[in-house]
Structure 1
Amino acid sequence: MRSGMVSVIGRPNVGKSTLVNALVGQKVSIVSHKPQTTRHRIQGVLHEERGQVVFVDTPGLHKVETRALNKVMNQAAAGAIHDVDVVLFVVELTRWTEEDEGVLRRLEGLTTPVGLVVNKIDRLDDKEKLLPLLQKLSARRDFAFIVPLSAQKGSNLKGLVDELFSRLPEGDPLYPEDMVTGNDLGFTVAEVIREKLIRSLHQELPYSTTVEIEDYKREGNLDRIHAVIWVEREGQKKIVIGEGGAALKQIGTAARRDLERMLDRKIFLQIWCKVRENWSDDPKALKRFGLTPD
């Protein structure tokens, strides 16, 4: 039996959350096409007969720290490369940026095995170009292993899992076999609501929003949930609510349906939208919303 922690790092929007969800076999981390969707370290647990892998999905490491929230996200991601058994550095096959280079620099001097995961190989039309591209990436560091795959298509995931198990220490499972996420239920609910919010909004507004669960009660097979979407300005509140409350209703309906599928329970969900000015640059607000360590 082998068991251990694996940190998944990389720049924003490279497919880390999609990869973790695919490896675990169900959604534990929210996904959108917008960068910096993930704000927390999120644990997803893979159970197999040979052992257990606990994946830590991290916020994308980014170059610009314009607000306190950006700094906190970078600190969370950078801190996740320590006290784990393996680090997975996720990149895109055909795109290398300054932010990728920045992540690579953070790995300098790290003694933990670092595997390179080359994602989105399904987007390569000419497969003969694959090997030269991989060779170019492999020259950037002495990686413990390199695995090309497509997280979205689910291709070559087994190859990656095999590499991980060969490097994990012997030991008992860290989580019970029926647990697929190390995060509590309230956190999961808030993240699902935030995912629907992000997908429904455009441009920069999603980065000025967060979700807080005010009340969560279980009554038989029914969960009663009261949630608040926090924004930074009155104008943003109007956009989130929409004309006649239509936008907020759409977000709530999509979140409720997703939660009922995930939890196999009936969900009664009420969502309000409130304003807290400049919360994303306010350390007290970040702590209240669970975005900084206690």
Structure 2
Amino acid sequence: MSKTPKPTGSPAAGREASAASSSFPSGAEGAGFKSGFACFVGRPNAGKSTLTNALVGKKIVITSSKPQTTRHAVRGIVHRPDAQLVLVDTPGLHKPRTLLGERLNDLVKTTWAEVDVIAVCLPASDKVGPGDRFLVSEAAKVAKTPKIALATKADLVEPERMIEHLAEIQALGESAGIQWAAIIPVSATSGFQVELVADELVKLLPEGFALYPDGDITDEPEETLVAELIREAALEGVRDELPHSIAVTIDEMGLREDRPKDKPLLDIYANIFLERDSQKGIVIGHKGARLREVGAAARRQIEALLGTPVYLDLHVKIAKNWQTDAKHLRKLGF
């Protein structure tokens, strides 16, 4: 991953920082070149993160069958000869039950107000419900921003069901006062119409210069990406009530100094935080077996992402009721 300084903060701040920087190459930019931000929104587990990874071409956002996996806005960068498309994957909009949930919803709505295009993900495997209607009605309030609808998880349904779903999406937009710029069935898993989604998003971007250097696929710090991959590994196979209680922080991360340059080893010391002592045994497992599985799975993903052998040291700690405690939320990066 490139170490070139990158825009941080909101999409708007990123655009301003890029415009002011002379270090970013112009590449193939010229008349008609487009650049800008698009965000994927939807209910939890609507396929937003999987689609982001498919468009970027590399895993930068963790995915899980557990709802509300995404906890912050992750930017993925798609480089094309005619455009640079910056995708902002946001947490799923949901009815919050904790202070963390309220902050995640605030993050989603702030992102909506600052992007160039909003792409609403409505999984074809589910009927349109109250959560979708609420989501679309909220998106409609960002009146001047163009919107497309994506019928995600198209590989999971028969053509007859897809036809019904597309009609439901059209009616949903009409009832909210939204005129969809496009309605696209897509499957990030099979690759069905993923490139078409990119084409339609690019059509709606403004003309401009590249916002990030060639080759960059995200502006997330490596420590954040590593922490998320550890959390993804910890989420697999745990009880339904546990995923929301898991948070991960990186204490220390760096190349081991006594190693030859042709045999590097990246040392990572990380903490998995839980809310209650009773949850500790679930994550650690009998004689530490489950924690070793989490470490092995996370290490494989981290090595694939960074291209460096990894030594991973994990510890499980308790931050009591951290989802509802403002002090703990600050310490954990929320």
Query: Given the alignment, which residue of 287, 305, 312 partners 1:262?
Result: 305
Task: Give a deviation string over 1:176-196, Cα, whole Å, max 9, x none.
Answer: 112111210000000000000
Query: Given the alignment, which residue of 229, 246, 267 partners 2:272?
Result: 229
In the other structure, the counterpart of 1:284 is 327
Q: Is contact 1:231–1:275 with CA below 8 Å preserved after alignment?
A: yes
Q: Is contact 2:100–2:324 with CA below 8 Å preserved after alignment?
A: yes
* 1:128 shift after superposition: 4.1
Letter in 1 for 2:313: Q
* 1:139 shift after superposition: 2.2
Whole-angstrom distance in 2 between the partners of 1:136 and 1:197: 36
Task: Give a deviation string over 1:29-75, Cα, whole Å, max 9, x none.
Answer: 10011100111101111111111111000100012x21111111111
In the other structure, the counterpart of 2:27 is none
Query: Given the alignment, which residue of 262, 287, 291 partners 1:244?
Result: 287
Letter in 1 for 2:172: R
Whole-angstrom distance in 2 between the partners of 1:73 and 1:121: 27
Task: Please give the secondary structure, in 2, of the residue aligned with 1:104.
Answer: helix
What is the root-mean-square deviation of aligned Cα atoms in Å? Answer: 1.3
* 1:267 shift after superposition: 0.4
Whole-angstrom distance in 1 between the partners of 2:286 and 2:47: 34
In the other structure, the counterpart of 1:272 is 315
Instruction: Give aligned-pair identity as a percent.
Output: 38
The number of residue pairs the alignment matches comes to 289
Task: Please give the secondary structure, in 1, of the residue aligned with 2:122.
Answer: strand
Q: Is contact 2:128–2:168 with CA below 8 Å preserved after alignment?
A: no
In the other structure, the counterpart of 1:27 is 59
Q: Is contact 1:200–1:251 with CA below 8 Å preserved after alignment?
A: no
Task: Please give the secondary structure, in 2, of the residue aligned with 1:7.
Answer: strand
Q: Is contact 1:43–1:56 with CA below 8 Å preserved after alignment?
A: yes
In the other structure, the counterpart of 1:118 is 151
Residue 110 of structure 2 is aligned to residue 79 of structure 1 = yes
Q: Is contact 1:211–1:228 with CA below 8 Å preserved after alignment?
A: yes
In the other structure, the counterpart of 2:231 is 194
Whole-angstrom distance in 1 between the partners of 2:204 and 2:194: 16
Q: Is contact 2:37–2:86 with CA below 8 Å preserved after alignment?
A: yes
Residue 120 of structure 2 is aligned to residue 89 of structure 1 = yes
Query: Given the alignment, which residue of 165, 168, 171 partners 1:133?
Result: 165
Query: Given the alignment, which residue of 185, 202, 218 partners 1:181?
Result: 218
| TM-score, normalised via structure 2 length | 0.84
In the other structure, the counterpart of 2:17 is none
More strand as a share of residues: 1
Name whichever of 220-229 and 23-32 sits farther off: 220-229
Whole-angstrom distance in 1 between the partners of 2:152 and 2:307: 32
User: Where in structure 1 are there 5+ consecutive unaligned residues?
Assistant: none
Letter in 1 for 2:45: N
Whole-angstrom distance in 1 between the partners of 2:239 and 2:245: 11
User: Where in structure 2 are there 5+ consecutive unaligned residues?
Assistant: 1-32, 174-178
Task: Give a deviation string over 1:191-222, Cα, whole Å, max 9, x none.
Answer: 00000000131211111110000011123422
Summarize the Cα distance change of 1:132–1:234 in structure 2 as closer, same or farther, 3 Å threshold: closer
* 1:281 shift after superposition: 0.6
Whole-angstrom distance in 2 between the partners of 1:193 and 1:131: 39
